[in-house]
Structure 1
Amino acid sequence: MTFDAIGIAGTGLTVHRKWLDALSDNIANLNTAVAPGDEAFRERYVLVEEGSRSPGVYVAGTALGDAEGRLVHQPDHPLADENGYVRMPDIDFGSQMSQLILAQRGYQASAGVVDRARNAYEAALQIGRS
């Protein structure tokens, strides 16, 4: 039972780490401008599914947001077109930061489960030695 808890929490750690990676990539590219005719940076999403053969959650893949982005008037930008527009990602910073907090707390919760299960296993070993 303890090993199951460690394994399941370990899958949660992996999923939350991948989610944190995607969010940090989104935040880092929030202000990445391209020429209006090019594709904007596409927001990264982590797709998660419940394990079918073993308990836990797993990263099923990633999805990308819209490449259209949004046009921003920045006539002094080197990539601006003749009308002064550049294409920026359509990523909401507030939403990304909220998700970052959720992913961080989920990671911390999974790490706490691993620690508690390990402590319970060590206590059971000590009882067995007595």
Structure 2
Amino acid sequence: MDFMTALDIGASGLKAQRATLNVISMNMANIRTTKTLEGGPYQRKSVSFESSPVYSPFDEAMNEQLNRDLHGVKVLGVTADQRPFKQVYEPHHPDANELGYVYYPDINVVEEMTYMMNATRGYEANVQTIESVKQMFNKALQIGV
């Protein structure tokens, strides 16, 4: 594996974790949203990942001969959670139904913060990987001088 491939793998991890952090912050911002453009309460969202090759088709053909199969990660998509909404009795709320209940998204702050900490740690690990590759590259340049 060359230095650029290692950087590509680290960069793919950074993009994936950034997308996760964006979705988590969107969930946290909409924790009390009872009406969206679609008409109902906000639905919690999550990010799906998949393994993604980091090589071009030519590189893949060459690496098949070397029996190397390196992958990064890419965001497959953002999906809406199918949890049922929380019903809260608030008869004076403008979005209350005829029985006085308001539907809120089922978003748990502690759960979201845990996911945020996990994504932050993943982001930091990818940053450290990129920093290590840069240090190795600089050391290799010093050897050649």
CA distance, structure 2, for counterparts of residue 5 and residue 61 of structure 1: 24
Instruction: Give the SS at the match of 1:51.
Output: strand
1:62 CA drift (Å):
1.4
Give the total of aligned pairs.
127
Q: Is the Cα contact below 8 Å between 1:39 and 1:69 reproduced in 2?
A: no
1:85 CA drift (Å):
1.2
Q: Which amino acid aligns with 1:126?
A: Q
Match of 1:117 in 2: 133
Match of 2:17 in 1: 16
Match of 2:107 in 1: 91
Deviations 1:50-91, CA, capped at 9 Å, x for gaps: 114642011111111127522211123222223221110012
Identity %: 31
Match of 2:98 in 1: 82
Q: Map of 1:34-49 to 2, 5 A cutoff? A: 34=35, 38-49=39-50
Q: Is the Cα contact below 8 Å between 2:54 and 2:72 reproduced in 1?
A: no
Deviations 1:4-57, CA, capped at 9 Å, x for gaps: 21111110000000000010001111111239xx42211111110011464201
Q: Please report the TM-score for the alignment, with normalisation by the length of structure 2.
A: 0.80
Match of 2:58 in 1: none
1:126 CA drift (Å):
1.7
Match of 2:120 in 1: 104
Name structure 1 gaps, 5 residues minimum: none
Q: Please report the TM-score for the alignment, with normalisation by the length of structure 1.
A: 0.88
1:115 CA drift (Å):
0.9
Name structure 2 gaps, 5 residues minimum: 56-70
